[in-house]
A and B are shown apart, each in its own frame.
Chain A
Amino acid sequence: MSLTSLSISALQEKLRAREASPVEALDALESRIAAVDPSIHGYLSRDYAAARALAEKADVNLPLGGVPIAIKDVINVIGEPCTCASKILLGYKSTYDATVISRLRAAGAIPFGRCNMDEFAMGSSTENSAFGRSCNPWDLARVPGGSSGGSAAVVAADEAYASLGSDTGGSIRQPAALCGIVGLKPTYGRVSRYGLVAFASSLDQIGPFTKTVRDAGLLLNAIAGRDPQDSTSLDVPTEDATALLGRDLKGVKLGMPKEYFISGIDPQVDASIRAAIAKYESLGAEIVEVSLPHTEHAVSVYYVIATAEASANLARFDGVRYGHRAATDNLLEMYGRSRAEGFGPEVKRRIILGTYVLSSGYYDAYYLRAQKVRTLIRDDFTKAFEKVDAIICPTTPEPAFLAGDRTDDPLKMYLADIFTIACNLAGTCGLSLPCGFANESGKQLPIGLQLIGQPWKEARLLQIAHAYEQATDWHKARPAL
């Protein structure tokens, strides 16, 4: 068995027992990447030299000592590219480390490799990358999900031990579900976004993709905590996210939101989620029906708020300080053309939508109204969490879809995020973990179970996820590559 199929925890055991060295762990990745990444296209760039220099002097006794971690190409790592999968940032080289990267380094981890994504994290399929789509390791004709599709695919294909992504409306949980791995979106304010290229600042969170629930806790422990460089990161005492792993589920209440069990869900997904819920009951959890009555409005609220914030955040790409600059002697023309030449179609669409909903005469009708409905969505969760420890539901209504299927229908693509978006609007934590397979034309496609936890209760969320993971074998399945 190759080193690269190991979880972080299993790799660490070998490193600490001196059965493998950090350089060997990295070399194993290099050969695995050479073998499978030409079919997956999960990486946009890789810097073996920088990683090897770190591996040679890695201290394996640190919490993540000597473990290479792949990074979504939207998080700055000093000296490395950070293209956000956009032509507008081609040639850009980061001049600093994001806070999550400094924290990974302090924990002994080795940031290695830049993962493909939808341009500026806008998309649900990684087809919006300016540098070509990534493929789902379970069926190369299908998408790995998005926007962190590369980060998910490389972990699922065993060409990374774990990775970091970002989640604005499901961009960690949705690709984790479609690729059959664990993806965790921490509570808003848990992890600093300093050094994450901003998409929608009131929603963005950085989080891990891993092969096991325990690994997600290990990575969260390394990156969480207040950072003066991000004023939205909060000074909530950082608990050990792995502290509750292994405890049983007696007394744990899980809420089934009736609005998430609707017609239109793929029957195989529906059956797997219901089987997972039955499993939880057999493990001692109590299942309670809850209601999140404003669920039907979540996608609309999201596409107003996220595009509004994106249109403001992306105003910085004007050809002046960094990024692509159009050749012209006229300043206004330079702005308009640099942006037109640098941004891809989905980014342009969202800038237009976001600018419109913020424009004079429409602000109240769209943006302000969306912010008010957001309050109602948030209140739904607050009320549900008075009754339950976590909410249990599908991560996505369907397994991975075929590439090209939705690229010309933005609304249909946006509806792929229907079950993940509300968690970001409410600001709470959520994760996806494997709970079965759908059979589509002879291919096995992973199905993701979503657990949405109470704000700041990641340790509880991971405990609940871990109990199911340990009672099932889904997480052990690997795609044939």
Chain B
Amino acid sequence: MSDPFNVRYVAQLARLDLSDAEIEKFQSQLGQVLAHVEQLGRVDVSKVEPTAHANAVANVFRKDESRPGFTQDAALSNAPRSANGLIVVPKVIE
């Protein structure tokens, strides 16, 4: 884990526009947190299965039936911009 941790690059992956001041601050603060986390490297996990969550349940299915859901009005009621029953966003394709 010797590669540099680069906040500027990670922020792009996260679609989060950080200021230069934030980048500098997080670089040092999270560097300390990561240094603490490095201790996990000492644990022998060679024969251990990962735990994704506490209860070993998988493939919880329900019947493929229609159920009541949100009305269009309710679903759009918190949209920053909407028109004609649709959410309006900036143009994607030139």
Contacts and interface: CB of A to CB of B under 8 A. Distances in A.
Contacts of A339: 14-17
B13 interface: yes
Contact of A427 (B10, B18, B22, B54): B54
A323 interface: yes
Contact of B26 (A228, A330, A352): A352
Interface in B17-74: 17-19, 22, 26, 29-30, 32-34, 36-37, 39-41, 43, 45, 48-55, 57, 60, 62, 70, 74
Interface residues of B, number: 51
Chain A interface, DSSP helix/strand/loop, else mixed:
helix
A378 B77 contact: no
B92 interface: yes
A287 interface: no
A372 B10 CA distance: 24
B80 interface: yes
B92 A297 contact: no
A202 B55 CA distance: 9
A316 to B, nearest CB: 12
A332 B15 contact: yes
Interface residues of A, number: 75
B36 A411 contact: yes
Interface centre among A294, A336, A425 (most CB of B within 10 A): A336
A296 B55 CA distance: 23
Contacts of A324: 80
A340 B15 CA distance: 9
Interface in A145-200: 188-189
A313 interface: no
Top 9 A-B residue pairs of the complex, sorted by shortest distance between their CB atoms: A427-B54, A371-B50, A202-B53, A322-B78, A325-B80, A231-B60, A336-B17, A372-B45, A340-B17
14 contacts: A96-B70, A189-B57, A201-B53, A231-B57, A321-B78, A336-B16, A343-B16, A351-B14, A356-B30, A366-B1, A369-B41, A372-B51, A375-B49, A455-B54
Interface of B: 1, 3, 5, 7, 10-11, 13-19, 22, 26, 29-30, 32-34, 36-37, 39-41, 43, 45, 48-55, 57, 60, 62, 70, 74-75, 77-81, 87, 89-92
